[in-house]
Amino acid sequence: MPNRASSYPFWLGGVAASLAASCTHPLDVTKVRLQTLQSTPGSKVSTISVIRQSIAKSGFRSLYTGLSAALMRQMSYSLVRLGAYEEMKARLSRNGKPSYLQLLAAAGLAGGCGGIAGNPADILLVRMTSDVTRPPEKRYNYRNAVSGLVNLIKEEGLRGLGRGLGTNTARAILMNASQVGSYDFFKAKLLNQEVPLTDYRLRDNLVLHVVASCLAGTFATTVCSPADVVRSRIMAASGNLSPITVLVSSLREEGPRFLFKGWTPAFIRLGPNTVLLFVFFEQLKKFWSATH
């Protein structure tokens, strides 16, 4: 890995995240639809049932609904969170090897910046992917991310771009710290470790990147699930809702298990997404360093 963030462009992380999101978008769609479905205690809404319902209503292409918003999100949210983290890490490294606490703080700060930058695209993504679960008269019917952004500003004003900003920023801080921060932690801890029952030692290569990113994806899914569910419900709503209102009403109607609603599709999506993100990112950095 390069020692200086300036050895590759700031936007490289956004490109890697966009490539990963293009592969895992159907899983993200399923996660959001599952999170925004209101259910009562005792009722069972599974990942498979949501997928089947989506395909039955709108066909297989419905699982790619909101892809333009997903790419807009990655080129704002992920571009900032990854680029800012790499820059902070490079600056911290100039004074010696940074501690894990410093890296965790840097990842959290970068994640917060990314959450603010990507909030409008996040709103569009949630609305576009959850539209099929709404009654026809309550659907947003955004054609794409650009037209959705225009409609959002027209109907709700510039303040509408900040819907769910607090929850989204908190979730972004948790996500970047638990995903990017833990990836660096697992990668450092696993480097040169011997694989059980073999003589193979993990090197800084594709195998290490996959293993470390799998662990990071599992950790990040669990840490971020409560904030992710509340964020999705606030952004999907048409009225003004506070995180406390959503939290209290959902706990009363559905019980505490709602905080981890959609964990399975979130993990199924975030696990491969995290692996692809870091594999693409590592390879893009190596390619850029080799060609510039």
Confidence of residue 5 (pLDDT cuts 50, 70, 90): very low
Does residue 92 carry a pLDDT above 50? Answer: yes
Confidence of residue 15 (pLDDT cuts 50, 70, 90): very high
Does residue 178 carry a pLDDT above 90? Answer: yes
Distance from C-alpha of 41 to C-alpha of 254, rounded to nearest angstrom? 5
Please report the pLDDT score of residue 214 as a whole number.
94
Does residue 164 carry a pLDDT above 90? Answer: no
Q: What values do phi and psi take at 191, rounded to 5?
A: -60, 130
Does residue 43 carry a pLDDT above 70? Answer: no
Is this structure's pTM higher than 0.95? no
Could you read off the pLDDT of 201-222 as tens digits, one per residue?
888 999 999 999 999 999 998 8
Does residue 33 carry a pLDDT above 60? Answer: yes
Does residue 153 carry a pLDDT above 60? Answer: yes
* Residues contacting 36, CB < 8 A, separation 6+: 126, 130, 133, 232, 233, 236
Burial of 94 per CB tally in 10 Å (0-12, 13-18, 19+): exposed
Report the mean per-residue pLDDT for the chain: 86
Please report the pLDDT score of residue 192 as a whole number.
83
The second-level CATH assignment, the architecture, of 5-291 is Alpha/alpha barrel (1.50)
Distance from C-alpha of 282 to C-alpha of 86, rounded to nearest angstrom? 12
* Residues contacting 259, CB < 8 A, separation 6+: 225, 226, 229
Q: What is the mean pLDDT of residues 250-272?
A: 82
Distance from C-alpha of 68 to C-alpha of 65, rounded to nearest angstrom? 8
Q: Are 78 and 15 in contact (CB under 8 A)?
A: no
Spell out the domain ranges in the chain. 5-291
Q: Between these two residues, 197 and 162, which has the higher pLDDT value?
A: 162
Q: Are 272 and 24 in contact (CB under 8 A)?
A: yes
Q: Which residues pair with 194 in a beta bridge?
A: 201
Q: Are 131 and 57 in contact (CB under 8 A)?
A: no
Highest mean pLDDT: which of 173-187, 217-231, 250-264? 173-187
Q: Between these two residues, 243 and 68, which has the higher pLDDT value?
A: 68
Confidence of residue 199 (pLDDT cuts 50, 70, 90): confident
Please report the pLDDT score of residue 26 as a whole number.
85
Please report the pLDDT score of residue 165 as a whole number.
92
Q: What is the mean pLDDT of residues 14-20?
A: 96
Confidence of residue 52 (pLDDT cuts 50, 70, 90): confident
Q: Which of 91-95, 107-111, 215-219, 224-228 has the lowest mean pLDDT?
A: 224-228
